[in-house]
Amino acid sequence: MGIPGYTRVERVGQGTYAVVWKAHPKHDPSFCCAIKCLSLNRETDGIPATAMREISILRDLSHPNIVVLHEVVSDEDKLALVFEFVEHDLRKVLDLRNKRLPLNEVKSFMYQLLKGVAYCHKMKVLHRDLKPQNLLISANGVLKLADFGLARSCGIPLPTYTNEVVTLWYRPPDIILGNTSYNASIDMWSCGAIFAEMVTGEALFPGKNEPDELLRIFKVLGTPTEATWPSMTSMPKYNKKAGWPSMPPQKLKNVVPRLDQLGLDLLAAMLQFEPKDRMSAEEALQHPYFSGMH
């Protein structure tokens, strides 16, 4: 399907509800953009909620580490979101580098990720789907948060949210146990999992399903107790009879061996069972691991 005013160059991606094209405005072939095209089904509600959410949230956000939504083009049977074009995503970058990023690059990407997340949280937006595929990396090494289809604005007091968010490998344990009163800490767990993956090249907790995901988390961080995770027993899906095997925590140095002590300290601060104990993005940016980055 054509997009008024734009020439498509090539298809660069396909998501659940959209096809993404590399394109340029007809009047300016030198300007690249990425166009997310959605077919609208007139028999149903028309525009998918994910697209509505992404449009309304991105129109209010403006930050160097967040992808730019240039414009929205629509007609009766399609909707096109025109974004800035960014060459790669973090998953592709890891694969291209044989899963070994130089540690100074890991630090730069992590700092930029936290900058983008801190800005979202300041603007009362939870991303809720942070993962390497949703972090775009430009040719000159700028990281940008993308895919705000699951994001939402959060107000005070804590409303009840859905817990069907965050791709499983980056999903915090409280969400797996059905927590719906969450806040910015949901994104911080994902940041921790991404941090470890940037260093090792492999997902930290690649669970096959929710019970397997929990066990993989426990294998690294130890099986939680009411002392290490006080709010655990109040989680909707917590079941005392589930009988989790008792596993001691591993030394993070053995799990992420290339990371220095300051990096390990930062990682541990984000991967806390208790949501309120997770370091905020703003606090993480001040961590000594990033000294010299400010």
Sequence spans of domains, the chain: 6-84, 88-290
Mean pLDDT of 198-212: 95
Instruction: Supply the CATH classification number for the domain 6-84.
Output: 3.30.200.20
CB atoms within 10 A of CB 225: 11
pLDDT band at 45 (very low <50, low <70, confident <90, very high): low
Identify which of 255, 270, 217 has the alpha carbon closest to the alpha carbon of residue 110: 270
What is the pLDDT at residue 151? 87
For residue 45, the one-letter residue type is: D
Buried b (16+ CB within 10 A) or exposed e, 102-121: eeeebbbbbbbbbbbbbbbb
Q: What is the spatial distance between Cα 20 and Cα 42, in angstroms, rounded to a whole number?
A: 21
> Could you tell me which residues are beta bridge partners of residue 84?
33
Tokens of 100: 């070994």
How many degrees, rounded to 5, is the angle at CA 114 between CA 109 and CA 116? 95
Binding residues, by number, are 36
Active-site choice (28, 60, 95, 129): 129
SS3 label, residue 13: strand
pLDDT band at 156 (very low <50, low <70, confident <90, very high): very low
pLDDT band at 157 (very low <50, low <70, confident <90, very high): very low
Residues 164 and 222: beta-carbon distance below 8 Å: no
pTM: 0.92
What is the pLDDT at residue 43? 52
Mean pLDDT over each residue of the chain, to the nearest integer: 90
Binding residues for ATP, by number, are 36
Question: Domain 88-290: what homologous superfamily?
Answer: Transferase(Phosphotransferase) domain 1 (1.10.510.10)
118 contacts: CB under 8 Å, gap ≥ 6:
280, 281, 282, 284, 285
Question: Does the annotation count 129 as an active-site position?
Answer: yes
Same CATH topology for 6-84 and 88-290: the answer is no
* H or E, element range at 89: strand 88-89
Q: What is the spatial distance between Cα 63 and Cα 24, in angstroms, rounded to a whole number?
A: 23
